[in-house]
Structure 1
Amino acid sequence: MIYLVLALVFFLTIKVYFKIAAHYNIIDKPNERSSHTTLTIRGGGIIFVVAALTALVWHFDEYWLPVLGMLIIGTVSFLDDINSLPNRVRMIFQVAAVTMMLYYLQVFANVNIFMVVLLYILVIGIINAYNFMDGINGITGLYSLVVLAAMQYVNIRQQAFISEDLIWLPALACVVFLFFNFRKKAACFAGDVGSVTIAFWIVTMLLKLIFTTGDWKYLLFLSVYGVDTILTIIHRLSLRQNIFKAHRLHFYQILANERKIPHLVVTSLYAAAQLLVNFFVIGNATNLMVNILVVCLPLVLVYVIAKSKLMHKTV
């Protein structure tokens, strides 16, 4: 019953936010790098910040530190949605939030400095990759829902590693957000506040799962995004492009923009691919390298071969 009430609260929160965003002109304006063509309200992902506040109230004693980090990174991202902030400002707050996450995970007490540095790079990289992948209708909400479902399955059926509420809450927020975003013409976009906040939430729980089980195979719950992001960076570097500037070279962008495949179809393909990966990762006990090869090699081949053909057809 409580989740039905929360769903209603989240729904009403977005509706109220629409009025505020319209009044203050918080909108996403299309440009040559965009995958949309109409003015759309930005920042609907503020629902994930509201979900984080709910988690803070419910589980303050246990999870106040990572949730506080989530609220900090979400607030800064929302300010960036309203009025773009310098990269160094966003990075300072991202590092501060990630520090809270790693402190909660007891990283500083249990691993060496080299591993700490690698974790900072990994976490901040994933958060920003998640943000870069948020470019078409529904992709952030649906992909996140698939990842959250996999973690909750492991949490309930295989290895309890975190309170179930900490997964149900963002999943519920995803469902409500998708009601407005998983459409041919989205009523709102997540904005940085949405993609960055949910990314921080997911990475926190994913690392908690990894450290609890000692098994890094669960990082493959983000493999579809990961392969697209890494190979796109390599592609852009080969073209001598500035990888920190906006672009339309992600595989999903080629599908949606150049090949004109409907956004919701592309989004569903990404979510379905990750869902298949998650089934494999959860259902087998082979070593890490086997998991990586079985999962990543097909994704890499699809990316390289299909993207090359699709881009050749657009020339």
Structure 2
Amino acid sequence: MLLWLLLHFLIAAAGTLLARRYALQRDLLDHPGERRSHQVATPRGGGIAIVVAMLVAIVALALRDPSQRWLLGGFGVGFVLVAAVGMVDDHRPLPASLRLAVHALAGMVLAISVQMAAGNSWLSAMAFLSVIVLTNIWNFMDGINGLATSQALLLALALAWLLGGSWALLAGALAASCTGFLPFNFPRARIFLGDGGSGGIGYCLAGLGTIAALTEGAAALWLLLPLSAFMVDAGLTLLKRVVQRERWWEAHTRHAYQAWARVVGHTRVTLAYASWTATTVAVMIVLRSTPVVLALALCVVTYLAASVVWWRLERMESHIKTTGDK
């Protein structure tokens, strides 16, 4: 296990260095602007290193474990689709409708693989919806230094603990890959994930979460706890933009984490979100063997609490500006 983790850590770290050099040579830079949360031009596309590391893991595990080969194959095909359309978008912006169509296709591939493996239509539907939701949430929430990668790292660790066999190794590979990339993105960002990296991470979490539901049944509901920070911030911000008839699919800086970062800085916000998620992971580990109804009750309480925090953070910046003007 240690050698496995070290391998994927090194692939991600070395790949990020190469990706940064490539991005600088090709002028693949995110420039500051009203729809950005950073102040200096920064290379993008570093998530390709995580993508490569995960592809190595998928192929290695498919060769090692024939019993999971078809499911890992479907997982891998969907992963490539999401990562590829994101990397193309990193080089040349694509229409949001095209990216969403590719995400839907990736979700269908995973759903068909799950249906073939489990014969469970509800689980297949969950696979499809999870890919659409988490792929885009990780893209939406990749806006400040270290946030998307640190959250993925914590969730991957939770999944590695929950799963077994080849899938635990795959979750461990994701955690190690995120660890290899993170020093280049936090606390100071020398390169960003890009759409290929953030989308690929979101897809992996969706796929691994589906496998957790396949193997663990209702106990997989506990995974909703560590997802709460991103689900609430992304979901409520998206709902607000839709209600206000904004072009919700375009880049923006309206998330609660972005408003908070403008007040206290990227590092504090990323660490605060990590503390929230680490706490929910610990709760999940301690209470996993308790009745599932407790998981549902805790999820309701946690999401309500997160919604209150979102509401307060979302108004923090405007309150400070109003007070300053007075």
State the distance in 2 between where 1:309 and 1:39 align: 27
Closer, same or farther in 2 for the Cα pair 1:116/1:9, shift >3 Å? Answer: closer
Which residue pairs with 1:101 in the alignment? Answer: 110
Report how far residue 301 of structure 1 moved.
1.5
Which residue pairs with 2:274 in the alignment? Answer: 271
1:211-241 superposed Cα distances (whole Å, 9 cap, x missing partner): 3222233233311100111111232234332
Does residue 67 of the first structure (1) align with residue 79 of the second (2)? no
Closer, same or farther in 2 for the Cα pair 1:307/1:41, shift >3 Å? Answer: same
Secondary structure of the corresponding residue to residue 188 of structure 1: coil
Taking the TM superposition and a 5 Å limit, the aligned residue runs for 1:213-292 are 213-215=216-218, 216-257=221-262, 259=263, 261-284=264-287, 285-286=290-291, 287=293, 288-292=295-299
Closer, same or farther in 2 for the Cα pair 1:206/1:118, shift >3 Å? Answer: closer
Report how far residue 118 of structure 1 moved.
6.4
Which residue pairs with 2:120 in the alignment? Answer: 110
Partner residue of 1:174 out of 175, 178, 199? 178
Which residue pairs with 2:10 in the alignment? Answer: 8
Report how far residue 165 of structure 1 moved.
1.8
Which residue pairs with 1:53 in the alignment? Answer: 55
**Residues 11 and 177 in structure 2, CA contact (< 8 A), matched pair in contact too:** no
State the distance in 2 between where 1:137 and 1:179 align: 10
**Structure 1 residue ranges (4+ consecutive) displaced by more than 4 angstroms after TM superposition:** 115-119
State the distance in 2 between where 1:51 and 1:5 align: 9
Opposite residue 12 of structure 1, the aligned amino acid is A
Which residue pairs with 2:23 in the alignment? Answer: 21
State the distance in 2 between where 1:299 and 1:265 align: 17
State the distance in 2 between where 1:206 and 1:116 align: 12
| TM-score, normalised by the number of residues in structure 1 | 0.90
| Higher deviation after alignment, 161-170 or 245-254 | 161-170
Opposite residue 38 of structure 2, the aligned amino acid is H
State the distance in 1 between where 2:49 and 2:182 align: 11
Closer, same or farther in 2 for the Cα pair 1:36/1:297, shift >3 Å? Answer: same
Report how far residue 66 of structure 1 moved.
0.4
Which residue pairs with 1:137 in the alignment? Answer: 145
**Residues 29 and 40 in structure 1, CA contact (< 8 A), matched pair in contact too:** yes
Secondary structure of the corresponding residue to residue 226 of structure 2: helix
State the distance in 2 between where 1:307 and 1:9 align: 38
Taking the TM superposition and a 5 Å limit, the aligned residue runs for 1:142-153 are 142-153=150-161
Where does the alignment leave 5 or more consecutive residues of structure 2 unmatched?
none
State the distance in 1 between where 2:17 and 2:298 align: 43
Which residue pairs with 2:208 in the alignment? Answer: 205
Which residue pairs with 2:315 in the alignment? Answer: 308
Report how far residue 199 of structure 1 moved.
0.6
Closer, same or farther in 2 for the Cα pair 1:149/1:2, shift >3 Å? Answer: closer
Report how far residue 11 of structure 1 moved.
2.2
| Higher deviation after alignment, 242-251 or 52-61 | 52-61
State the distance in 2 between where 1:245 and 1:170 align: 28
1:159-185 superposed Cα distances (whole Å, 9 cap, x missing partner): x3753320121111101110100123x
| Higher deviation after alignment, 21-30 or 53-62 | 53-62
State the distance in 2 between where 1:124 and 1:42 align: 23
State the distance in 2 between where 1:314 and 1:237 align: 25
**Residues 254 and 307 in structure 1, CA contact (< 8 A), matched pair in contact too:** yes
Identity across matched positions, percent: 28
Secondary structure of the corresponding residue to residue 135 of structure 1: coil
- The count of aligned residue pairs is 306
1:98-136 superposed Cα distances (whole Å, 9 cap, x missing partner): 112112222783226xx8666534430221111000000
